[in-house]
């Protein structure tokens, strides 16, 4: 079972591909964004620290997210492999991950980067709507709900995630650009980076992802 990292800008399709990988390989998806959003909803100390940074489209400090991931990787469901989504986002986070894994006698098997041009990313993120109750994600034109503005599963009114608003999107894209500049070459230097064209349909992207994982093991 693979230990995989999924890299890609917000809106590159990480969430969609992550769900499919989880189903195919039976590994847990570890999304630092999801964990942090839950902490914000529950008003925990972590959430209180992270919330304002997240709604400003800024990164949460490395030591906070590194701590979250370290604890999560120790859980028994990660013993047969894991899929990291949204982490690492900086080289220091990648270094900390490498150290934590080596303490556990483990390594990263592959880093899959979903490559999508910035204009397409903007169109995807700005049209994204989510269900506040169940977390289902839609797109106003690419994958609309059956009834406009309402979740297919539970009928809740769909919302635009605060950090999917235009001004926040630009901030997140520039943070992401700064990150990839350093993170992709860092993993490429370790022979782990597998780039995939993320502009195709979700099915076609998934085929490529499975193929590069096969090649990489």
Active site members? 14, 89, 128, 161, 172
Tokens of 10: 């917000």
Pick the closer one to ligand AMP by CB: 2 or 11: 11
Out of 4, 30, 60, 196, name the contact with ligand AMP by CB under 6 A: 60
Tokens of 214: 């096969």
Q: Which residue has the tokens 């590159």?
A: 12
Q: How far is the CB of 174 from ligand AMP (least distance, A)?
A: 12
Residues in CB range of 83: below 8 A, 6 or more apart: 4, 5, 6, 18, 21, 22, 25, 27, 28, 29, 30
Q: How far is the CB of 144 from ligand AMP (least distance, A)?
A: 22
CA neighbor of 11 nearest in space, from 156, 198, 209: 198
Q: Which helix (H) or strand (E) holds 137?
A: strand 137-139
Q: Which residue has the tokens 């990787």?
A: 73
> Which among 40-48, 81-89, 97-105, 143-151 is the span making contact with ligand AMP, rule CB under 6 A?
81-89
Q: How far is the CB of 215 from ligand AMP (least distance, A)?
A: 26
Residues 160-189 that bind ligand AMP (CB under 6 A): 163, 172
Binding site for ligand AMP (CB under 6 A): 10, 32-33, 36, 53-54, 57-60, 65, 86-89, 93, 163, 172
């Amino acid at each position: 079972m693979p230990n995989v990292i999924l890299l890609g800008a917000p809106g590159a399709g990480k969430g969609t591909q992550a769900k499919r990988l989880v189903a195919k390989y039976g590994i847990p998806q570890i999304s630092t964004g999801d964990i942090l959003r839950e902490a914000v909803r529950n008003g925990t100390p972590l959430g209180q620290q992270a919330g304002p940074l997240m709604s400003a489209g800024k990164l949460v400090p490395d030591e906070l997210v590194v701590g979250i991931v370290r604890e999560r990787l120790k859980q028994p469901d990660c013993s047969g492999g894991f899929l990291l989504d949204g982490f690492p986002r900086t080289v220091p986070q990648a270094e900390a991950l490498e150290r934590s894994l080596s303490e556990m006698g483990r390594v990263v098997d592959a880093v899959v980067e979903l490559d999508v041009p910035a204009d397409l990313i903007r169109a995807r993120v700005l049209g994204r709507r989510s269900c506040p109750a169940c977390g289902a994600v839609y797109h106003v034109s690419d994958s609309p709900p059956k009834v406009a503005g309402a979740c297919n599963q539970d009928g809740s009114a769909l919302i635009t995630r605060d950090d999917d608003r235009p001004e926040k999107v630009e901030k997140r894209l520039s943070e992401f650009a700064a990150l990839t500049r350093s993170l992709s070459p860092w993993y490429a230097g370790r022979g782990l980076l597998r780039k995939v064209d993320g502009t195709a349909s979700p099915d076609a992207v998934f085929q490529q992802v499975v193929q590069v994982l096969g090649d990489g093991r």
